[in-house]
Amino acid sequence: MSLNSENQKLGHKLALMKNTVVTVGRVSVDLYGLEAGASFASEQTFSKSVGGSPSNVAVAAAKLGNHAVLLTKVGSDALGQYIVNKLNSWNVDTKYVTSEPNGLTPVVLAALDPPEDPKLIFHRQPNAPDTTMVANSVPTALIDDCAVFWMSGCALSHGETAKSSMQWLQQRSRKQHTVIDLDYRPSFWASKDDAGVAARAAIAHCSVVVGNKTECEMAIGLTDPDQIADKFLADGVTLAIVKLGAQGVMLASRKERIHIAPLKIKLVCGLGSGDAFGGALTHGLINNWSIREIGEFANAAGAFVATKLTCADAMPTEQILRSFISDQAQTIN
Considering its fold, how many domains does the chain have in total? 1
Q: The domain that contains 142 carries what CATH number?
A: 3.40.1190.20
| Whole-number Å distance between alpha carbons of 46 and 4 | 54
Q: Which domain holds residue 226?
A: 19-28+53-105+124-328
251-263: pLDDT as tens digits: 999 999 999 999 9
Average pLDDT over residues 297-323: 97
Check pLDDT > 70 for residue 333: no
In a domain, 180, yes or no: yes
Check pLDDT > 60 for residue 7: no
Contact partners, residue 116, CB within 8 Å, separation at least 6: 246, 267, 270
Q: Which of 29, 20, 74, 39 is nearest to 311 (CA)?
A: 29
Provide the pLDDT for residue 126.
84
In a domain, 73, yes or no: yes
Provide the pLDDT for residue 10.
46
Q: Which helix (H) or strand (E) holds 152?
A: strand 148-152
In a domain, 2, yes or no: no
Q: For residue 65, how far is the Cα from the chain centroid?
A: 16
Average pLDDT over residues 7-29: 78
| Whole-number Å distance between alpha carbons of 229 and 242 | 8
Provide the pLDDT for residue 1.
47
| Whole-number Å distance between alpha carbons of 277 and 295 | 9
In a domain, 254, yes or no: yes
Q: Which helix (H) or strand (E) holds 199?
A: helix 192-203
In a domain, 96, yes or no: yes
| Whole-number Å distance between alpha carbons of 75 and 105 | 4
Check pLDDT > 90 for residue 308: yes
- SS3 of 291-324: the string is HHHHHHHHHHHHHHHHCCCCCHHHCCCHHHHHHH
Instruction: Specify the amino acid at residue 31.
Output: L
Query: CA torsion sign, 132 to 138 to 142 to 143?
Result: positive
In a domain, 34, yes or no: no
Prediction pTM value: 0.94
| DSSP codes of every residue in 49-97 | EEE-HHHHHHHHHHHTT-EEEEEEEEESSHHHHHHHHHHHHTT-B-TTE
Lateral strand order in the sheet of 46-51: 46-51, 28-33, 107-111, 119-123
| Whole-number Å distance between alpha carbons of 185 and 172 | 25
Contact partners, residue 228, CB within 8 Å, separation at least 6: 213, 216, 220, 222, 240, 242
Average pLDDT over residues 184-194: 97
Provide the pLDDT for residue 332.
67
In a domain, 11, yes or no: no
Provide the pLDDT for residue 9.
56
| Whole-number Å distance between alpha carbons of 333 and 327 | 10
In a domain, 92, yes or no: yes
- SS3 of 170-183: the string is HHHCCCCCEEEECC
Contact partners, residue 188, CB within 8 Å, separation at least 6: 122, 154, 157, 158, 195
Query: CA torsion sign, 266 to 306 to 315 to 144?
Result: positive
49-101: pLDDT as tens digits: 999 999 999 999 999 999 999 999 999 999 999 999 999 999 999 999 999 99
